[in-house]
Amino acid sequence: MHKLQILENTTLFKLDYLYQSENDKPLMEKKIYDKAKEMNILSKEQYDKLYNLYDLRNKVVHRYIITDIKTMELRKIGYDYEQLCEEIRLVLADIETEQFEKKVGYHGTKDPHRERNQDHVDELLSMVNDKHFSNEFHRKL
């Protein structure tokens, strides 16, 4: 979405990526991965990892009982997702900086990496770290 704002030199958001109403044609995750790869947001390696993790996730969510996935593997799948999410978070941070430098899009007027009010930062860290409830996933934002 942020990359589209740069490419189209606009502050408008593509609502398809933010909200799908009951009557909208579904926009599937893999189509978003395809678009991100096409726009060079994701590397080939990241793209392949996402596809692999998506397939594993579907096995876990929809066919766990009847597949060869073992319960002990679930932690690794979750951990691999978390690692890839961190890589993609850093890619997003670069795109946000690009928006600010080019003065376009959502971050075109305020530095996305400016100093934040500490109370807001603490609240966000609390939400993120409480969600995972594991020191292994605590990170500085």
Task: Give the integer Cα–Cα distance in Å for 132 and 141.
Answer: 15
- The rounded Cα 126 to chain-centroid distance in angstroms is 19
Where exactly are the structural domains of the chain? 2-110
pLDDT score, position 138: 55
- Please state the pTM of the whole predicted model: 0.71
Could you tell me which of 112, 121, 118 has the C-alpha nearest to residue 141? 121
Decide if 53 contacts 60 (C-beta within 8 A).
no
pLDDT score, position 93: 92
Q: pLDDT tens, position by position, for the chain (141 residues)? A: 788 888 888 887 777 777 888 888 888 889 989 999 999 999 999 999 999 999 999 888 898 889 888 989 889 999 999 999 999 999 999 999 999 999 988 888 888 888 777 887 778 777 777 666 665 655 555
